Amino acid sequence: MSIAKPKKPKNKHAQQPSTVKVDQLVKDTTDATGAYLTTNQGLRINDNQNSLKAGERGPTLLEDFIFREKITHFDHERIPERIVHARGAAAHGYFQVYHSMAQYTKAKFLQDPTQKTPVFVRFSTVAGSRGSTDLARDVRGFAVKFYTEEGNYDVVGNNIPVFFIQDAMKFPDLVHAVKPEPHNEIPQAASAHDTFWDFISLMPEAMHMIMWVMSDRAIPRSYRMMEGFGVHTFRFINDKGQARFVKFHWKPLLGTHSVLWDEAIKISGNDPDFHRRDLWEAIENGDYPEFEFGVQIIEEKDEHKFGFDLLDPTKLIPEEMVPVQRIGKLILNRNPDNFFAETEQVAFHPGHIVPGIDFTNDPLLQGRLFSYLDTQLKRLGSPNFHEIPINRPIAPVHNNQRDAHMRQTINKGRVAYEPNTLAGGCPFQATRGEGGFASHAERIDATKVRARSESFFDHFSQATLFFNSQSAAEQDHIVNALRFELGKVETPAIRERMVYMLAQVDKSLANRVAEGLGISVPAGIERDLNQSIPADGDPKKFQPKRVGKNLGASPALSMANTTMNSIKTRKVAVLVADGFDAAPLATVKQALMNAGAQVKLIAPRLGQLQGNNGEQVKIDFSFLTCSSVLFDAVYVPGGEASIETLQGVPKALHFINEAFKHCKAIAVTGAAVDLLQATYLADKVNHASGKGVIVDEGVVISRDAAPAKVIAEFIKAIAQHRHWSRERDDHVPA
């Protein structure tokens, strides 16, 4: 039996009013208030509870187009996650340049100080899946999409200025090594396993990056409190065609701060969304994250003056050699409306540039220029990913691209080629003077080879520079991080190779790590390392080679020298129970909030508390639903009834001990001083006699209710972020 095909209407617009365009008929469907449930074609649904069956107990029918549409969409709601940078959080905002940069670049968004360029910024971890914890020890992505009038421009960087490898050829190997091991899919979002350190122990070029990743930079306190870097060397080009090299930086106005590894482990259990939540809540509270955009500009004539290669992505330019010029400010002031549509579907690409900015021959950057576009085609399923709303430029788009999967633009006319006469030659090519992009005319005269420049083979000098630049506490943390990571490695030979590598960076570092691993620093291990070099390769080039130069130290590389004069957005936990001293608490709370901090009340239960003056206050958290690791400081007001209750709550005592162990500011007033007798801080109480204020390693104690000096000293102690001298005592019971 044949099935007659429906006849097409003679007029393709016959079913629509001839004077109304299709896009004028489309209604806003983002607000479902008072609306009917429909299919994706707008058909109203009268039963969303049952599939169409052959009888009440019979099979579901293939005819049920409503069910099939619904389940098909559900089946495809999860697009492939990013191979790296899968877990992230993002925000909208704007960028303003401080003054015109016309001397260096013709990029329009860097010219007018009154112009606000919209941006979308995504922060992320690298190694873990979408469901992993925010507090993994890892690099953090810091990607910024500028929606400029000349097109979208992406600065796709990290919170670390260098990278593990020098050539993109090795990127799949790096990622395969750090991802969960394929035989058992363990561990998630962690580098503490054999395959990663096996790879690193055979890649001397990674040693500088390893110093950063084993430092506190890899466990930031907040996305709002970490630096960002473009990693690669790019070019600025002005309207005269003059080119200069440039490195990009993002400097957080709140300073650069971290958490301790012990905290990171506990935060992962208490709140694996800690960084996501922090960013979201800060913006919702009006505490908009702010970063200054900085550049290091190098004249082309100075390209080879540094003793390292500007094109080597495992190297940085010390700020003491080329200061960072802060040329503008980035402010994040709006959270996404929909995580999937924006944060998950945003597509960054280092190849998204504008006139006035261009590439260099950095071999890692060159590989990224191919890889990122290829990845978007896979993840987002179409070459039309630029039409997804979050990826759409604000600049008009006119080209001859048509069709393909999920095309959204409805192009008019018969012409989809160039040159043409049928469309009057449109769209026209733009000259440079009209904003047309032209690549920098760099002269290239070379032989086609698979090789690496000799200038890339100093693998240790900057690793040593970084370690030497750290404070004593930061160096201790690097040692402990390496002991932890390598302590998880099961293969003794890998541990030995890594300790040997560390000896090329700093012998004291290697000795301390080796001591923690129960091994000696090996010598003469080059034979084992050479096994990874191809037969036609030169082991002398690829293997450890110390260069006879000492770069000293760079204070800019230590977080001990970051901003420590503000407590804005810091979270202060107040431990209370019924009968607390209401007046002192109100005074301290107001002072902290005036300084920009957030104050949360923690009690044995939820609900309302009653102060010693009868005042009722709302409890924010119980001890069961929070932990000291989620806060930056602790205050305990007096009140005999309150303190008597807290003395019988083990979690309250642990809260104080743990905050002390993690070197955080602590303040106690009035009867709360006696609570410290039941904690590890009892010795400090013995010094708090009389009515004076005692300040000792960030602990502020006063038997007075709340003298003004307590507030001043407490705020000062919080602003210091941590009081690392306490780490000398490793016997705190927490």
612 in catalytic set:
no
- HEC-encoded secondary structure of 411-448: CCCCCCCCCCCCCCCCCCCCCHHHCCCCCCCCCCCCCC
Q: Which two tokens stand for residue 263?
A: 């905290």
Q: Are 243 and 359 in contact (CB under 8 A)?
A: no
CB atoms within 10 A of CB 63: 10
Active-site residue among 46, 50, 76, 85?
A: 85
Nearest to 147 by CA among 390, 428, 373: 390
Q: What are the tokens at 302? A: 């100075």
Helix (H) or strand (E) holding 547: none
Strands 243-252 and 290-299: antiparallel
H or E element that contains 66: helix 65-75
For the question of residue 158 being annotated catalytic, the response is: yes
Quote the Cα angle for 557-360-117, to 5°.
75
Give the separation between CA 98 and CA 327, rounded to whole angstroms.
Answer: 5
Q: For residue 617, which amino acid is it?
A: V
Query: How buried is residue 41: exposed, middle or buried, by Cβ count under 10 Å (0-12/13-18/19+)?
Result: exposed
Residue 452's nearest CA partner among 687, 205, 654, 638 is 205
Structure tokens at 422: 């049928």
**CB contact burial 447-475 (16+ within 10 A = b; e otherwise):** eeeeebeeebbbbbbbbbbbbbbbeebbb
Instruction: Determine the Cα–Cα distance for residues 356 and 365; give it in Å rounded to an integer.
Output: 18
Of 152, 158, 480, 657, the active-site residue reads 158
Exposure b/e, 676-694, CB count within 10 A at least 16 = b: bebbbbeebbeebeeeebb
User: Cβ atoms within 10 A of the Cβ of 395, count?
Assistant: 14
Dist CA 177 CA 203 (whole Å): 12
What pairing do the DSSP bridges indicate for beta strands 616-618 and 699-702? Answer: unpaired
Is 64 exposed, middle or buried (CB count within 10 Å of its CB: 0-12, 13-18, 19+)? Answer: middle
**Is residue 721 a contact partner of residue 664, using CB atoms and an 8 Å limit?**
no
For residue 371, which amino acid is it? S
Say which DSSP state 724 is in.
Answer: G
Q: How far apart are CA 630 and CA 277, in angstroms?
A: 11
What is the set of active-site residues? Answer: 85, 158
